[in-house]
Amino acid sequence: MRIVRSLFCVVAFSYPALVHASPVQVDSGKISGIALDADSGLQVYRGIPYAKPPIGDLRWRPPHAVESWKGVRTCDTFGPASIQKTGRNATQEQSEDCLYLNVWTTKGGDESAKLPVMVWIHGGGLNLSWGHKESYDGTAFAKNGVVLVSINYRLGALGFLAHPALSTESSRGVSGNYGFLDQIAALEWTRRNIAAFGGDPENVTIFGESAGGTSVAVLCSSPLAKGLFHKAIIQSPWMFGYIDELASPNIVKLKEPVSNTPSAEQLGLDWAEPKVKGSNADALKALRSLSPSEILERVRYYRTRATIDGWVLPDHPAHVFAKGQQANVPVIIGTTRDEGAYFRNYVRFAQRAELEAKLEAFYGRSVKKVLAQYPGESQDELKQAGIQFVTDAWFVHPAGQLLEGMQRVSSPAFQYDFAKPSSRNPRMGAPHAIELRYVFNTLNNADEFPENQVLSDKVMKYWVRFAYYGDPNGPDLPRWPEYEGNRKPYLILDDSISTGFDLRREASDALEGATQGIYN
């Protein structure tokens, strides 16, 4: 199997000489991990296979069960990331053989411990990244009484390509969403095996950010995932928008267009041309014969989307939630104050007509009410308008749709607005993904900015309390009100934690009105 080396720069984990922990039994065989801290009992098991390598004839198929092994498998090295198109200087190993997960625990081998389990699903536009980045280290969660699981799943074309030839081959008549099926397989593995690591299979929280938040929303909406988790945290769900088009759906239908975007199958046909023509058996063979490098060469950024296929995903998650058909579990859903600042270099407009044209291409006649929320004529004003539009349309409005849908079920929902500005670049505000190191307590600037550690400790307490009880509130924490009533309270996470109401209500109302009926 050819291995492709990533180009992303990643900080290597730094641990002392490896001390192997006692083996534990999982359903495919025995594995050994690494003992990290004798005092706390901290152990990590890296690179545990949760499905058979999706290579050869298993490319673009649902994940298959892992083959059993004899003896003790050493799990002291993180598995490869899914192949992806990245920059020039990274060392992260990549491969199609990427279906591995990692477990941090202080109770390995103690099946009576029944600690809450948290399963982390990384973001990256469904195209990039991996679950074992240094910023996602599970040490702090484990030391706070959680069994932390992080996963890798198929990305880009390998994880989400829909194509008529693949649909014809499928017994379900569908294609795409393979990466979501990987995530479901990882949850099934967790349910079967997590007790061996001291975890409670009846108390599993899934959480993810950006495309990981999208993934959590999809899992909450999928009949295939029901019963596999009991709580969900959806951080900055990316459920709309593409950088070049600005306003464009990233959740599409398998066989029908959505607004100005073709069906998932048509997008797959367009992507496969000219190397793979047609949609018959020969096309299927040609697709599977493409090398990983040929798949990456197709375009700089494969336009990966979630597909409404009637099997993995029955409808747009916002519609599933609006009908009260989602998993009836407690949720935390939130965004950062300045999400769009992360994409600031992609929202430059020479004149207002450029902004208007991008939005009109998707919203059509409804565009005027949307544009009224984002005034400006100068380049600086237009850039700020674009940043605010991305914040609202890509993240805040979709998060609000899910929160509103939670009013249809009995489980509680809690909303947050992470407002703590970047310490080293305060003018950016609180951009997309800034909360991640606070959530995992993996700050790299706490010595320089000790107030950041104070906030990180509180955020982790909220997340851990929620994993234990389905309610983030607890001693020594400012009260987090439930999302309900007419004014819709939310928690503002900053140096001083406070409560706000009706986050970006006017803009969200305009966006909601403009998108009505687009999927129907």
Parallel, antiparallel or unpaired: strands 489-493 and 498-501: antiparallel
- Residue 131 CA to residue 137 CA, distance in Å, equals 9
Q: Is 339 a catalytic residue?
A: yes
- Residue 365 CA to residue 464 CA, distance in Å, equals 46
Catalytic, out of 209, 339, 360, 435: 339
- Residue 113 CA to residue 92 CA, distance in Å, equals 34
Q: Is 423 a catalytic residue?
A: no
User: Helices 211-221 & 178-193, crossing angle to 10 degrees?
Assistant: 70
Residue 460 is which amino acid?
Answer: M
The burial of 353, by beta-carbon neighbours within 10 Å (0-12 exposed, 13-18 middle, 19 or more buried), is given as exposed
- Residue 119 CA to residue 89 CA, distance in Å, equals 29
Catalytic, out of 221, 265, 432, 508: 432
User: Helices 397-405 & 505-515, crossing angle to 10 degrees?
Assistant: 80
Structure tokens at 127: 């195209």
Catalytic, out of 210, 222, 279, 456: 210
Q: Is 210 a catalytic residue?
A: yes
DSSP letter for 261, please: B
The 3-state secondary structure of 77-99 reads: CCCCECCCCCCCCCCCEECCCCC
Structure tokens at 224: 């295939």
Helix locations, 161-210, DSSP H: 164-169, 178-193
Structure tokens at 229: 């988790």
Say if residues 104 and 141 touch (Cβ distance below 8 Å).
Answer: yes
Say if residues 103 and 132 touch (Cβ distance below 8 Å).
Answer: no
Enumerate the active-site residues: 210, 339, 432
